[in-house]
Structure formats: C-alpha cells, structure tokens
Amino acid sequence: MSAWISFWNSKHTIYVNARHRELHYRIIAQQLRAYVAPDADVLDYGCGEALCAELIAPPARRLILCEVAPKLHATLSERYATRQDIEARSPHQVRELPNGALDLIIMHSVAQYLSSEELGDLLSLFHRLLRSSGRLVLGDVIPPDVSAVTDALALLRFAALNGFLTAAGFGLLRTLVSPYWRLRSRLGLTRYSEAAMLARLAAAGFSARRISNIGHNPARMSFLAQHS
C-alpha cells in the first residue's frame, strides 16, 4: 500500500476539476448520512479529503476521520480543529481505541488499494472496535468484471448530469498519462466478487449483505455488515 499512500500524499489530478471534487465528496456524504444513528460514535477510515464531513457529523456524537496519508491527515486536523464533534486521528491512534468504542465504521473506496492481507487485518480491527450492535459500511468495492472503461463511462454519465462533461472528457485523457494510471497499470487494483467479499467479511466475524453502491458508480459494490 505504500506506493498508493505516496500518491494520495502528493498533489494529484484524480478529480477533473473543483466541481467534480466537491460533488464527489458531497454525494458520498449525503448517502452515508442515512447510516448514521443519533448519538453514534462513527469512524470514517481512509476518508481522503473528507470535504463534506460536516454533512455526516450532525446526527452523531462524534465523527473520527482517519487518513493514512500524512499531508491529508494534517489538513483534516487543521480544517476541523474547532469542531467538537469531528476529530482527525492517525491509523495508529485508531488502533489504540478500546474494544467496542464505535457504533459505525465506514471504509469507502479503499479496499481496492489494499492487499488481501491488509484488508483482513483491518476487518479484524473493525470487528474489535465495533459494539455488538454496531455496523460496518464497506463501499466502492470493485468486482472482477468492472474495467477502467466501465469506470470511465460512469464518470462521464455523472459529469453529464452535473454540468462538467467537457472537463471530464479532458480529465480522462489527462489520466492516461498521469502518475495514477502508471501506478494502477503497474500495481493493479484488488478486486472481489460479491461472494468473495461476503466470505471475507464472514471470516472476520461479520454477517453482511450487499447494498446499493455508495457514490456515482453503480457497477461497483457496497456492503453493510454487523457482528454475526
């Protein structure tokens, strides 16, 4: 995962413009809020820039944002320093949380950048951190048959609906010569079938089911899990 951490820690052009970036985070936050119960203790693991964390936080007692990329973690710490209900923690600090500290854990669009072993380690951690009634939302998992072309078409449809189609077209061309594409071509992305992910979750002690995918790409998968 270290190569991907370095990428996300750098100045990249994964979003085609500012509108794409803002809408990406806003739509995900709006969809995730449906899973946040009042007074819940929530962890968003691998949250990225978390531009719209304030949309997730209000029902919760506290929202913990965890990002492994050091620069993103520092930005999150500064952005939400004055919020009493939002805090930024490093992965090490998250591991120090006591058993059963959380009601909801979110990990969105992260599994594809992890090895199978890294995912298994995190699922075990999440099982320990969740209360017996807690839930895990695992989002944007890529199935084996979903290609880069499928992802590109989903972005173009999203852009057409939201007024940045031309920028998306140029952005996709720019991606083909970007560090992201070179890294993706060299390392690949980790993919799971629905059955394989359900089996991974079961092995970690979760009972899970597939739900509508969080985000703009319906070809990818999300799962809702709880202690079995």
Pair of tokens at residue 212:
């509508």
- Cα distance between residue 124 and residue 31, in whole Å: 25
Residue 115 pLDDT = 93
Cα atoms in the 13 Å half-sphere on the side-chain side of 5: 11
- CATH code of the domain covering residue 13: 3.40.50.150
> Where in the chain does DSSP place strands (E)?
41-45, 62-66, 86-89, 102-108, 130-141, 206-211, 221-227
- Cα distance between residue 118 and residue 203, in whole Å: 14
Those residues of the chain that have pLDDT short of 70 are 1
The model carries a pTM of 0.94
Give the closest residue to 228 by CA, choosing from 209, 214, 208, 200. 208
Residue 101 pLDDT = 98
Q: Would you give the DSSP letter of residue 69?
A: S
Pair of tokens at residue 30:
């709006």
- Cα distance between residue 158 and residue 10, in whole Å: 25
Residue 122 pLDDT = 98
At which residue do the structure tokens 């594809």 appear?
112
Residue 1 pLDDT = 67
> Where in 24-177 does DSSP place strands (E)?
41-45, 62-66, 86-89, 102-108, 130-141
Residue 13 pLDDT = 79
Total domains in the chain come to 1
Residue 184 pLDDT = 82
Give the closest residue to 228 by CA, choosing from 209, 205, 194. 205
Bridging pattern class, strands 221-227 and 206-211: antiparallel
Residue numbers of the domain that contains 67: 2-227
